[in-house]
Amino acid sequence: MFDFIPLLSQILNGLLVGAYYLMIALGLSMIFSLGGIVNLAHGAFYAIGAYLAVTLAPQIGFGGAMVVSPLAVALIGMVVERYLLRRFYNADPILGLLLTFGLAMVAEQSLRILYGAAPVPFSIPQALRGQVFIGDFIYSRYRLMILTIAVACVAGLWLLLTKTAFGKVVRAGVQNPDMVGALGISLKPYMTAVVMIGVGLAALAGVLVAPIAGVHPAMGQEVITFAFVVVVIGGLGSFWGVVAAAAIVGMTRGVAAHFYPAATEASVYLLMVLVLLLRPRGLFGERIQKFE
């Protein structure tokens, strides 16, 4: 008789991975949609968030680090957007790629200088350890917390983009920036806010995943590739496309990990190839209303 419990556990683990891919991919998609820049440095903000949590947790606790670290990274993102990214919104896209690639390298090497090349230990807080029992099913309490926070972030971001004046301007700027400019609305402060939200979400993902995946200088490079895969599968600029893609990627990883663990990562790339063969613009990439 087939035992469904191990498969369910692997699917939840896959969804957990998809959740933090999603928190990174949403920021990537938003920054590209409004500013036209593919931010290769996004993974660096994820890593910086994790390292800041390691530094701050002994002083203010894990809960405090989970709040302060993303806020601090968002402020770093504000500075980067204002003094670097803003110069390249109307430039050749390759210049933006080169800039953000350089930023990613600088950030990674800076982390190596400050913290060393070896992984930094960071454990799950004592209060969040333990298991949740649902009949015969057992799952980590901390992992369930990560899934809950990811769902809350998606819901909060959707409400911000669809139910507020800020969101209306952002969506209008994505669809027709010239018309927004003709109405006398400058998109510069909105772009700054979008970058701050995007990199703050990436930093939050870094804080949450740090006790599970470990903290090391190259962690940003490891995750950014899969975040781009999620964006490509979902469709550039599509909010719900990215959400759906993250869930599908997570479940694909979970099923592959259960039946053929050696193909866990390869399954994600195979999924991307299949989606692009059938829908070259991604699952929702053909839509014009980008964030709806």
List pLDDT tens digits, range 245-266: 999 999 998 888 888 888 888 8
Q: Are 28 and 231 in contact (CB under 8 A)?
A: yes
What pLDDT does 81 receive? 93
Terminal CA-CA length for the chain: 44
Q: Are 232 and 282 in contact (CB under 8 A)?
A: yes
CB environment 208-233: b (16+ within 10 A), e (fewer): bbbbbbebbbebbbebbebbbbbbbb
Domains of the chain: total:
1
Q: Residue 62 belongs to what domain range?
A: 4-291
List pLDDT tens digits, range 171-209: 888 877 778 777 788 888 999 999 999 999 999 999 999
List pLDDT tens digits, range 74-85: 999 999 999 998
What pLDDT does 282 receive? 83
**pTM score, whole prediction:** 0.90
Residue 162's closest CA among 36, 290, 37? Answer: 290
What pLDDT does 287 receive? 46
What pLDDT does 175 receive? 79
CATH code for the domain in which residue 13 is found:
1.10.3470
Residues of the chain scoring pLDDT < 70: 1-4, 135-136, 285-292
Average pLDDT value for the chain: 87
Q: Are 27 and 38 in contact (CB under 8 A)?
A: no
